[in-house]
Amino acid sequence: MLSACANTNLGNALQRSLGADPKLKDNPPKNLSGPSPNKPQSTPQKQKSVPLPEDFPTEIPRYQEATLEQVEPLKDAAGPGKLTIWSSPDPINLIQNFYQKTFESQGWEVLDQPEDQDGGTFIVRRNDLDVTLSIPARATTGKSTAASSSKPPAVATNSSVTTFDIQYVRDGKDTKAEKPQPSQKPQPSQKPTQAQKPTQAQKPTQPEKPTQPQKPTQAQKPTQPEKPQPPSEVASKPAKVRSGQPEKFTDLDKVPRDLRKYVADLAKLGVLTPDTTNPKTNTDSQGIQFAPNQTINRRQYARWLMDANNRIYANRPGLQIRLASNTTQPAFQDVPRTDPDFPYIQGLADAGLIPSPLSGDSTAVLFRPDAPLTRENLMLWKVPLDTRKALPKASIEAVKETWGFKDTAEIDPKALRAVLADFRNGDLANIRRVFGYTILFQPKKPVTRAEAGAALWYFGSQGEGQSAQEALFLKPQTSQPSGAPKATPSN
């Protein structure tokens, strides 16, 4: 039947009724259920880690769990520098706590910092280096910051990733005359303020009368670059000195057993401070961590050394070390008056207890406050406070004969005298109390925080001295009898 209808009017009509609509050839229907075939669908690609800029300052602390994502040049900057954008799987408060504690412990001049734990901007300075670190709060991820910044906002697109940026500029200055401003911090001024509301100055009847728009609002107050401080004001500003309140550490059980008593006594005396160099310690859930097995740096030990001496001899002012005045000329190029530990480090230099140009060592122009404290540093600084007199002459042979160290030749010649003098202190020698019996001194080995605390437990020589335990008894002088029990070191 079909073959009979071929090439007939009936066959052609039947073919047209069953065929496709010819209009669809030129106007294909839209695909409402999936992506268009002409539009390739983008697939997210994992961004590779960006190499660190060659000029990235080594002074800037780096968060261990952060990855560098992007590097951008700075426009119209006062000096060479860059903007670096970082990401980390850790939460905002952990990153913020790390930088807050590290900036303080490493002697940065903090010009501005967040008021809470929900992110914000740090503006810090050290010598000629200006650093602005911005950690945006997750609550602002949906807000635009284009009006307040010339660079893309550092906002994490993934709720499990925290993105923050570090901007650094070297301007060749070493004062606080100009306060660096955050380049991307969302300004509260985007929110309508009283200055944006129509006031009487906008009315045609009183065009000349200055009113509220000329008054600085709260959003404008944090930025005051028009009012620079002269260098003399910077020098006269008191350096920050810690209060020395006793800390209740939650990890003293991790202190080596032989050193635990010494560390506990110093903690009660208010000498020891929490560890601020490790981002994983001192979180709210862990309490205050002492981190006894972490390395102590030179600035921390200098602070402890002066505090321990002055608190143990609280009833003998003649044996105390004086804090340096903020008008004193700095002995070290890397410890300016603005350093929070300047009174301690400069005070030790003024007293001649640490090598410096003041003591005749013309090569000791740098203190290197953030370098690890070594065993020979510990002895060189501590023993003069034990003997209270000039250290004896020493030689490699004399130290070998007394201590029997196989590595005596590796000890710095200046520290040899302290090591030899310490031997004369018998069982109260620092080396015996801290390191026990050993025939290897390992002079360049970094000292732990627990070892540093044990060394500072006792000051004195040949039985004439005082311990932290005795200082605890003597602290309330008005109610305590004069004959306090004599403390003996525990082995």
CATH label of the domain that carries residue 104: 3.30.310
**First-to-last CA distance in the chain?**
116
- Same structural domain, 167 and 258: no
Residues near 43 by beta carbon (within 8 Å), at least 6 away in sequence: none
Last residue of a domain, one of 173, 204, 229: 173
Specify if 401 maps to a domain.
Answer: no
In terms of domains, do 153 and 265 share one?
A: no
Q: Note whether residue 200 is domain-resident.
A: no
Same domain, 164 and 267: no
Is residue 134 within 8 Å of residue 165, measured between CB atoms? yes
pTM: 0.51
Q: Would you say how long the chain is, in residues?
A: 491
Closest CA to 466 of 374, 388, 379: 388
**d(C-alpha 213, C-alpha 197), whole Å:** 8
Q: Contact, 234 vs 338, CB < 8 A?
A: yes
* Total domains in the fold of the chain: 2
Indicate whether 20 belongs to any domain.
no
Domain ends where: 173, 198, 222?
173
Contacts of 324 (CB under 8 A, 6+ apart): 342, 343, 344, 345, 346, 347, 349, 350
Distance between CA atoms of residues 375 and 435, nearest Å:
10
The pairing of strands 81-88 and 109-112 is unpaired
Is residue 224 in some structural domain?
no
Examine the domain organization and report whether 453 and 307 are in the same domain. Answer: yes
Domain-ending residue, one of 120, 149, 173: 173
Residues 456 and 344 in one domain: yes
127 plus 263 within the same structural domain: no
- The alpha carbon dihedral of 484, 485, 486, 491 has a sign of negative
Q: Rg of the chain over CA atoms, in angstroms?
A: 34
Q: Cα–Cα distance between 208 and 292 in angstroms, integer?
A: 67
Asked if residue 134 is part of any domain, the answer here is yes
**Residue 291 and residue 145 share a domain:** no
Whether residue 352 is contained in a domain is answered as yes
67-73 sheet: strands from edge to edge? 67-73, 81-88, 162-170, 129-135, 120-126, 109-112
What single-letter DSSP state applies at residue 287?
A: -
Asked if the structure places residue 400 within a domain, the reply is no
Residue 312, C-beta contacts closer than 8 angstroms, at least 6 positions apart: 269, 459, 466, 467, 468, 470, 471
- Which tokens hold the place of 67? 């990855």
| pLDDT at residue 220 in the model | 44
Which amino acid would we find at residue 408?
Answer: T
Q: Tell whether 328 and 455 lie within a shared domain.
A: yes
- Helix, strand, coil fractions of the chain, as percent rounded to 5: 30, 10, 55
Per-residue pLDDT of the chain in tens (491 residues, 90 and over written 9): 555 555 666 666 666 666 655 555 555 555 444 444 454 444 444 456 789 888 899 889 999 889 999 999 887 666 788 899 989 998 888 898 899 888 888 888 888 888 777 788 888 888 888 899 988 875 333 333 333 333 444 444 455 888 999 999 887 544 443 444 444 444 444 444 444 444 444 444 444 444 444 444 444 444 444 443 433 333 333 344 444 567 788 889 999 999 999 999 999 999 999 987 766 655 556 678 899 999 999 999 999 999 999 999 999 999 999 999 989 999 999 999 999 999 999 999 999 999 999 999 989 999 999 999 999 999 999 999 999 999 999 999 999 999 999 999 999 999 999 999 999 999 999 999 999 999 999 999 999 999 999 999 999 998 889 999 999 987 444 433 333 344 444 43
Q: Are the beta carbons of 466 and 313 closer than 8 angstroms?
A: yes
Q: What residues pair up with 466 in beta bridges, in sequence order?
A: 459
- Residue 286 is part of which domain span? 252-373+446-474
On whether both 58 and 169 belong to a single domain, the answer is yes
Q: What is the pLDDT of residue 482?
A: 37
Phi, then psi, of 52 in degrees rounded to 5: -70, 135
* Domain assignment present for 64: yes
Phi, psi at 7, each rounded to 5°: 60, 30
Read off the amino acid at residue 67: T
